[in-house]
Amino acid sequence: MRKMSRKWARISIALMTAGLLLAFAGVMAETYIPIVPGFALLLAAVVVKLTRLRCPYCTAFTTTPQWFGTGNKKCRKCKQLIYYDY
């Protein structure tokens, strides 16, 4: 069985969350200073998703990163269940 890397799924989620928080903080405080690194983090999350979190069966980037749980998400393209390495 081919598996996705939990480590990279968590990195992607962490980058995405931190980026959204920074961007949100910038909007709330009406300053652009945290928005720029916020978007950089979001971009990094997308890069991780495109390079490390492709479907292990068909290599499409149609998977949803998960912090916990395995085997309960399907690739939207090939319909294979996605399993993580831990």
Query: For Zn ion, which residue of 55, 65, 82, 84 counts as binding (CB under 5 A)?
Result: 55
Strands 81-82 and 73-74: antiparallel
Q: Is 78 in the site for Zn ion (CB under 5 A)?
A: yes
What angle separates helix 6-29 from helix 35-52, to the nearest 10 degrees?
Answer: 160
Contact region for Zn ion (CB under 5 A) — 15-23, 26-34, 65-73, 74-82? 74-82
Q: Is 4 in the site for Zn ion (CB under 5 A)?
A: no
CB 23 within 8 A of CB 39: yes
Q: Is 8 in the site for Zn ion (CB under 5 A)?
A: no
